[in-house]
Structure 1
Amino acid sequence: MTRIYRETLGSTTVDSSKAEQGRDARDTSLTNAPAAGQEAHMKSGPDGEELVVIVPETNKDSATYDGIDWCGERVTKEILAQVKRLKDEEGKIVTRFSITGYSLGGLIARYVAGCLAQKGFFQTVQPVNFSTVATPHLGQIRYQTFFSKVFAFLGPRMLSRTGEQLYTSDDWAESGRPLLDVMTDPGRIFYQTLSTFAQVRFYANTVNDRTVPYMTAAVETSDPFRDHTFNGIKIEMDEEYSSVIASFTPSDVPKPKPPPPTLFSRMWFKNVKSFKIPLPPVLQFKFPGNILVLILIPILLPAVLGLVVFRISLDNRKSRSRLRLLEKDESYRERLVHAIGRVERSIEDAAVDFMDDPGREQTSLLQADGSSPATASSSASQEPGSEAPKLQSVDVLLPLQHIIVQTLNALPNLKKHLVFVDPVTNSHAVIIARDVKRFKHHELGQGVLRHLADNFIM
């Protein structure tokens, strides 16, 4: 199952469709990972259902820079094409639908759900499972650090349309609002469709996720796991699913931090030997290799950063060029417009929104003290409703992000599952056990995948 989810989630979204063939529907069981764009069928079950897993292949490489909306349009097209193929070539009718997204794919999945609903897909198909894993539901968070400020400045400029949307600096469909705001509006088709799924599950790393931190993945306004080693939090792990938290208990009395070791003491040398530079796993070495890498950083870092900036700039230019062509294509423009139900506002819509917005803004201000209506309770498999301790003195969320927190936590069938992977440099890839062959520690995420699979409703 590990490789299945590694490849499936790594392709940003999954279409898991329950199909039946006439009156003699057959169930299937997925045993091997499908290649991109292909399907995997699972063996027959007791009720004759068949599970078909589709891995979208259109959002590869720099195509993910084109924006959540355009990526979602492509995936929607693939799903509908596969549904048509199942009907025309195999005589099978899709009756149930589930979708899972990893990282940015979770936002794309939310957009896809709205697109499918706009096309009438769910008039005959039942929405069942909606799951996201390490997805930035709030967009990127602007922490009060130097690097965070640099990324907040460069992200919208260097990551094309996707960067603008993740940093909520876009004006989507000339609506005057960022896409993440529109997708969380209870009056819009995206949120309404998400509310119809039988179960909605958010999986979030609690620590060490440098790509999608806890608050944006878990949709929270505070972080009880910040400085978890010394803040006194008690964490109970699930005995059946490794790395999944069963429960946790925050503490108002943090542990005292130990004093730093004396220079050249035994503890100092021990820390030097175990010291790991926050670099990718392929560049992590034990003593004395770690010291050698540290010495070479002043030489290697400028070259590596130069290559990274060059690659990102190149992908950004390619994406901007594609977007200009897409915006000129009338057929694509129509698909984009109709997929969101003509979300461009008329003057009458703007007047209605003006009356509604003050209430939404007031609600966000009420939550601006760092608590949210659906925050971490004593159970790690959370349902909305309780308050988390105020462990952060500085509110790092934007007013819009507070609104998104409140609205998403109001989803009727939402459950959150928290993951604790420590110590690792970056737990973002570990949570889906992305590459267990190259990196042994990625096996820590296999329990998360089993939890996701075991809670999947057929």
Structure 2
Amino acid sequence: MAEYNGGTTEADHLVVLVHGLWGNPEHMGSIAKKLREQYPPDQVYILVAKRNSGSFTYDGVELGGERVCVEIEEELELIKSRGGRINKLSVVGYSLGGLVARYAIGLLHARGVLDDLECMNFTAFASPFLGVRSPLRGWRSQLFNVLGPRTLSISGKQLFGLDKFRDTGKPLIAVLADPKSIFMSGLARFKRRTLYANVTNDRSTPYFTSAIDKTDPFTDLSKIKANYVRGYEPVLLDPENPLVPMTPGPEKEPEGFDLRDFVGRLPTILTLSVVLPLGIVAFLANAVVQTARSSKRVKMHESGLAGIPVERFRVNLWMNEIRQAVEGAYEDLGSAQRQEYLGQSADSDGEETDSSGEQILALERKQTHPDQPTLALAPYQFSAIQALDELGFRKYRVWIHDHGHTHAAIIVRSDKKGFEEGHVVLNHWVKDEFLI
């Protein structure tokens, strides 16, 4: 990683890379390498953020964003002290790093740092713009929704929309997407906003949240035909016309029980029955420890003992005026997830429509389409979709075929067999999407 970090004093374009949850700077190695292969050190200066490494990502988007903001300001001063001058800024976030990057951008905007810079690219790879709480039914999804926010400290509560950010009464996800917030105003300054979203097998950041989409047309890949970006087949889907429905064929007879297949899978089943419970226990035990450590770090940060003067970053969240009251009351996320898809009428699930949140749900029910039904998201998520879409994003859907861990493969997080298709994504970004 060290060989790609930094640049010369002639470079006028600073590119900041922000890793995700449980991550470290090495996770951004392939992105940094692709950038350096395309742009020399005297053209692009690369900064891979490092202060949020490992368990420090438990500490929440706010604290993470403040750390990244400090790193950027310090790097700009360092470059200046060496005789260089940065005129352009690009920010890249991966997974949770996309939210952390958006928070840092808002702070840089509010502090006037962006006034002296030409904001070029904001890019997000598999980032949970709408949080990660599952809108699907079933015990697995419910277990995920219950354990997730309780095992990831502050970051978990924010990702699952169970926090009330500062005095806003809203989840942080909603505040980041509020059109009047510093975060949206800062993001609006970038000439190009791009996202890359996995359409399948992303267990960390599902399609709907990384693509900012209220529907998921990729739930059954056998029923669609993908249209690809020319030269990037069969990975990158055409952003204007990503798919067409397949003509349904004759239904297959259900297969009977295959004894040989069961016997072949028996060793795997037995292994998982022993290893998986032990792994879950170990994970939960570690989560308790890391949550306690995270709480301690946050308390130190809030008291000014962590090396970052908090008062420098506690700016007003709204550019025009501080709101006197939060507009409307958002329903508890759990109650908004009672079904996989929204019904088509307000009477389908018996909910009232006497609050702003309930009115949003009622409107979404009326607009849902049988062929592409609306996911049962929470009101604040629908509001975030509308605001982010109005701001404008160039959306690229990614279909990785060769590996089941697409969340890591999309950025080639490590040199692992099966991640090669991620190079197709990164090549497209540096060659066709990145504004220099």
2:214·2:385 contact (CA, 8 Å) conserved in 1?
yes
Note the aligned Cα RMSD (angstroms).
3.7
With over 3 angstroms needed to count, the CA separation of the structure-2 counterparts of 1:296 and 1:409, relative to structure 1, is same
Residue of structure 2 equivalent to 1:452: 429
Answer whether contact 1:27 1:49 (CA < 8 A) is retained.
no
Unaligned runs of 5+ in 1: 9-14, 274-286, 372-388
396, 416, 427: which is aligned to 2:376? 396
Match of 1:338, SS state, is coil
2:129 to 134, 137, 141: 137
Q: TM-score, normalised by structure 2?
A: 0.79
- CA distance in 2: counterparts of 1:59 and 1:421, whole angstroms: 28
* CA shift for structure 1 position 316: 1.1
Map of 2:63 onto structure 1: 70
- Whole-Å separation in 1 of the counterparts to 2:224 and 2:14: 44
Count of aligned pairs between the two proteins: 393
Q: Say which of 100, 122, 126 aligns to 1:108.
A: 100
Within 5 Å, give how 1:191-270 maps onto structure 2: 191-229=184-222, 232-242=223-233, 243-246=235-238, 247-251=241-245, 254-255=248-249, 257-264=251-258, 269=260
- Shift in Å, 1:45: 7.8
Assess if the C-alpha contact under 8 Å between 2:13 and 2:45 holds in 1: no
Q: How does 1:355-370 map onto structure 2 within 5 Å?
A: 362=359, 365-369=362-366
Query: Is this contact kept in 1: 2:182–2:319, CA < 8 A?
Result: no
* AA in 2 matched with 1:306: V
1:313-328 matches, within 5 Å, as 313-328=288-303
Maintained 8 Å contact 1:107/1:135: yes
Which residue in 1 is equivalent to 2:154? 161
Report deviation, 1:328: 2.0
Instruction: State the 1:196 CA deviation.
Output: 1.5
Q: Is the 8 A contact 1:27 1:42 kept in 2?
A: no
Matches within 5 A, 1:24-423: 50-88=43-81, 90-142=82-134, 143-229=136-222, 232-242=223-233, 243-246=235-238, 247-251=241-245, 254-255=248-249, 257-264=251-258, 269=260, 272=261, 288=264, 290-329=265-304, 332-338=309-315, 340=317, 345=322, 349-351=323-325, 353=327, 362=359, 365-369=362-366, 390-391=370-371, 393=373, 395-412=375-392, 414-422=393-401
Q: In structure 2, what is the Cα distance between the partners aligned to 1:43 and 1:167?
A: 38
Identity of aligned residues (%): 29
Given residue 263 of structure 1, which amino acid in structure 2 is its aligned partner?
A: F
CA distance in 2 between counterparts of 1:158 and 1:336 reads 27
Distance (Å, rounded) in 2 between the aligned partners of 1:187 and 1:52: 32
1:119 Cα shift? 1.2
CA distance, structure 1, for counterparts of residue 227 and residue 38 of structure 2: 38
Q: 1:150 to 1:16 in 2, by over 3 A?
A: farther
Equivalent-residue separation in structure 2 for 1:234 and 1:59 (angstroms): 40
Q: CA deviation at 1:237?
A: 2.8
Aligned amino acid, residue 288 of structure 2 = S
With structure 1 as the length reference, what TM-score do the two structures score?
A: 0.76
Which residue does 1:431 correspond to in 2?
A: 410
1:423: how far off?
5.5
